[in-house]
Amino acid sequence: MSESSFPHLNDDNTKVALVEGDARYSYAEVNQRIDKFATGLLNGREDLQEERIAFFMPASLDYVTTMHGVWRAGGIAVPLNVSSAVAELDHYLSCASVTRMIANGKYQESLRELCAKMNIELLSVDDVLAEEVGDLPNIDPNRRAMMLFTSGTTNKPKGVVSTHKTIAAQITTLIEAWSWTEDDVIPLFLPVHHIHGIINILSCGLWAGATVHLFSKFDIPKITAEIVAGTYNVFMAVPTIYVKLIQYFDTIDAAEVKKICDGFRPMRLNISGSAACPVKLFDQWKELTGQILLERYGMTEIGMGLSNPYHGERRSGHVGQPLPGVEAQLFDEDNNPVLEENTPGEIRIKGDNVFLEYWDNEKATIESFHDGWFCTGDVAVIEDGYYRIMGRSSIDIIKSGGYKLSALEIEGTLLTHEDIAECAVIGVEDETWGESVLAFIGLKPGKSMEYSDLKNWCDGKMSSYKIPKAIRLIYALPRNAMGKVVKPDLKKLL
């Protein structure tokens, strides 16, 4: 972005910005490196003029250098998922008309053939870094800055384009809402091709002048050792990570579990997002660590839109209220505002946090807005002022026997069954009901289940019309990089 959107501090600033392994980098060092990278990208040009530059690397100093270097040189940053099969990258690269790809080491080797085929220049960070800092352009905040791709859980991924102004709005609303300060220290182990890792953790941390510890993946022993040492005071993860931690606790002795939980206890904030946090998990985490998870709601197109309060009641199963500077409203299927509580409606969002466009897809861009509101496709109800997500209108809202059922709500109840490790609920075509509820269930090791037993267990725990009409036992649910279940893949199994 422009200088104002990254703490561009004096060269004598020794505050630690990034920690990667045993290395520590000050804000002065990081800024200097970014400016040299931006200079190298320009290579004598005045401005990249929104050239699309992709990069294929995990969270690292080189990642931060590349992203901010592209921004400062006037390009559009296109971060890619390092977990993607190289064959899957073809769509992203061709869609964005990428001209240069930045990658290092093993990642560069894996891309060599693809980049040659697509006539994309493949470079390492060291290839680009200039020896001295040159003149950098002044960037208008309304210019395009970044292209992230939608998760592709419901259709082919689209390139979501945000401006510098959009990104600044997404960051500053969270700085205010979650009380970020330069004293914060946070680990980043989530994928950095996704809004959660890029904005909520990395960008908020650097804007606030905090310290971000970079991990290429979720390394439980290393991260929990730092937690025991009291290194972090903020922790953000997806529900799957919290589940993995609880499962890890079952494999180590009770004294070590207590040390880790005692390391979480004094933190000022634990956040869960990117997928619904089951109430059971919310309660387990509170019991183990004393931390009341703050759940929030966002998506690639808007950054974060809703959040439980930093100060105030954090409700399990709810995602809170609109963030500062964000307008939210529920609408019915006839595009009328939903004014009554406990009545389902689609969440629509307005604000500077909303993306500019889907890249090279004017039709999809136009269709995603109505009267200036961005239509999220997510259905929610408001209960005592707090939004509760029911799910995606296309895959999580099951229309059965005249009822609109929330797959997420049914899943949350099923996950309280002591034998169920994971589950996903979908609607399947039914002559009698229109759609009937089908549950895909992953059992804990050594457990078995008959449908009749589950049906009896559900009796009294949920209304009869919500009880699954059938179950399918499955070894593992198909998930994307952020831990979201890819429900269209489940439908293919049928």
DSSP string, 286-338: HHHHS---EEEEEETTTEEEEE--SSS---TT--BEEPTT-EEEEE-TTS-B-
The verdict on residue 29 lying in a domain is: no
Domain-embedded: residue 438: yes
User: How many other C-beta atoms lie within 10 A of the C-beta of residue 185?
Assistant: 18
Residues 214 and 327 in one domain: yes
Residue from 120, 102, 20, 111 nearest 57 by CA: 102
Last residue of a domain, one of 392, 408, 423: 392
Convert the pLDDT of each residue in 54-70 to its tens digit: 999 999 999 999 999 99
Q: Which domain holds residue 375?
A: 198-392
pLDDT of 429 strictly over 80:
yes
Q: What is the pLDDT of residue 275?
A: 79
| Domain identity same for 401 and 382 | no
- Counting every residue, how long is the chain? 494
**C-alpha to C-alpha distances, 394 to 300, 378, 407, nearest whole angstrom:** 17, 9, 11
Shared-domain flag, residues 237 and 386: yes
Confidence at 493, pLDDT banded by 50, 70, 90: confident
In this structure, which amino acid lies at residue 128? V
Place of tokens 């990278």: 37
Are 371 and 402 in a shared domain? no
Residue finishing a domain among 392, 409, 441: 392
**231 occurs within a structural domain:** yes
**What are the residues facing 465 on neighbouring strands?**
none
Query: Are 415 and 321 in a shared domain?
Result: no
Assign 408 a pLDDT band (cuts: 50, 70, 90).
Answer: confident
Q: Are 372 and 463 part of one and the same domain?
A: no
Specify whether the CB–CB gap between 378 and 346 falls below 8 A.
Answer: yes
Task: Give residue 325's region: left, alpha or beta (phi > 0; psi -120 to 50).
Answer: left
Whole-number pLDDT of residue 74 = 97
Classified as helix, coil or strand, 373 is strand
pLDDT tens for each residue of 93-106: 999 999 999 999 99
Structural domain includes residue 5: no
Q: Is the confidence at residue 430, as pLDDT, over 90?
A: no
What pLDDT score does 87 carry?
72
**Where residue 487 falls among pLDDT bands split at 50, 70, 90?**
confident
CATH number for 341: 3.40.50.12780
In-domain check, residue 42: no
The C-alpha atoms of residue 83 and residue 104 are separated, in whole angstroms, by 15
Question: What Cα–Cα distance (Å) separates residue 79 from each residue in 124, 259, 489?
Answer: 14, 36, 25
Q: Which of 56-70, 341-355, 394-408 has the weakest average pLDDT? A: 394-408
Whether 10 shows a pLDDT value over 60: the answer reads: no
* Residue at 366 is within a domain: yes
What is the tally of structural domains in the chain? 2
Q: Could you say which DSSP state residue 59 is in?
A: S
Mean pLDDT (the chain) is 92
Same domain? 325 vs 295? yes
Residues 412, 287 within the same domain: no
At position 173, the amino acid (one-letter code) is: T
pLDDT at 116 over 50: yes
User: Which one of 392, 419, 448 terminates a domain?
Assistant: 392
Burial class (CB in 10 A: 0-12, 13-18, 19+), 275: middle
**In this predicted structure, what is the pLDDT of residue 482?**
65
In this structure, is residue 321 part of a structural domain? Answer: yes
Whether residue 179 has pLDDT greater than 50: yes
Q: What is the tens place of the pLDDT at every residue in 244-263? A: 999 999 999 999 999 999 99
| Residues 241 and 376 reside in one and the same domain | yes
The H or E element containing residue 357 is strand 357-358
Beta carbons of 410 and 396 less than 8 angstroms apart: no
Distance CA 414, CA 411 (A): 5
Q: Are residues 253 and 379 in the same domain?
A: yes
Residue 287 placed within a domain: yes
* 329/442 same-domain check: no
Q: Is the pLDDT of residue 340 over 70?
A: yes
Instruction: Calculate mean pLDDT across residues 210-236.
Output: 97
How many distinct helices (H) and strands (E) make up the chain? 16, 26
Q: Are residues 238 and 342 in the same domain?
A: yes
pLDDT score of 242: 95
Specify the CATH number for the domain of residue 402: 3.30.300.30
